Amino acid sequence: MSSGAQKVELPSPRGNLCADAKPKNSIIQGLGLPNILPKPQINLPRNPDLDATWCGSLEILDMVSCGQFCDGFQAHLPGKVHPETVEYSRLMPNVLQYTLLPCSSVLAEIFENDRPTVNDMALLFSPGDFERSKQQYFSLLGLLEMRYMALRSHINGVNLLISSSKRLNLDSCVK
């Protein structure tokens, strides 16, 4: 067994299976736990706050099935954010109602000739800690990416746009 590896026994109907597990370079390596999280495709320079500033549901109003309700979502603040964003995120209703729109028209309207950058992010959305929330999150993310769509809402006079982070200008991200 190479250095840094540990022997892991996995229960099996035919007895215990043994496997060599090596922790990858990560912040949890010092804890002796293997890093099983997928690596992000881009490294965002502003680490999100670990505590969710908002928890609730997304209701997509114009889906073919007379609306789609995605529950158990969380919003996190990026590392640096305007103070008004912090206050606004705490006042958001439990159910956010969105319209599904083509990304190209929404981005052109808001950002004109520029593409959004990391600095344009105000909230980072993620699934909750239960399986249904994760399934809904990845299903919605797949829809947004494959069809090049975005979700748009107007809440208390503020536009809230949700799109895949893959739409960010990669030049604005630290590699």
Tell whether 11 and 64 lie within a shared domain.
no
Tell whether 24 and 60 lie within a shared domain.
no
Rounded to two decimals, the pTM is 0.64
* Per-residue pLDDT tens listing for the chain (175 residues): 444 444 444 443 434 433 334 333 433 344 444 444 444 343 444 566 678 999 999 999 876 545 688 899 999 998 888 888 888 888 999 999 999 989 888 877 877 777 777 788 889 899 998 999 999 999 999 988 888 899 999 888 888 888 888 766 544 444 3
Residue 169, pLDDT score: 57
Question: Is 142 part of any domain?
Answer: yes
Tell whether 80 and 162 lie within a shared domain.
yes
Question: Is 162 part of any domain?
Answer: yes
Q: Which long-range contacts link 85-94 to residues 24+ away (Cβ below 8 Å)?
A: 85/122, 85/123, 86/53, 88/156, 88/158, 89/53, 89/54, 89/122, 89/123, 90/53, 90/54, 91/156, 92/54, 92/56, 92/155, 93/56, 93/155, 94/55, 94/56, 94/57
Number of domains within the chain: 2
Question: Is 138 part of any domain?
Answer: yes
Tell whether 155 and 88 lie within a shared domain.
yes
Which range of residues forms the domain containing residue 23?
1-38
Tell whether 10 and 77 lie within a shared domain.
no
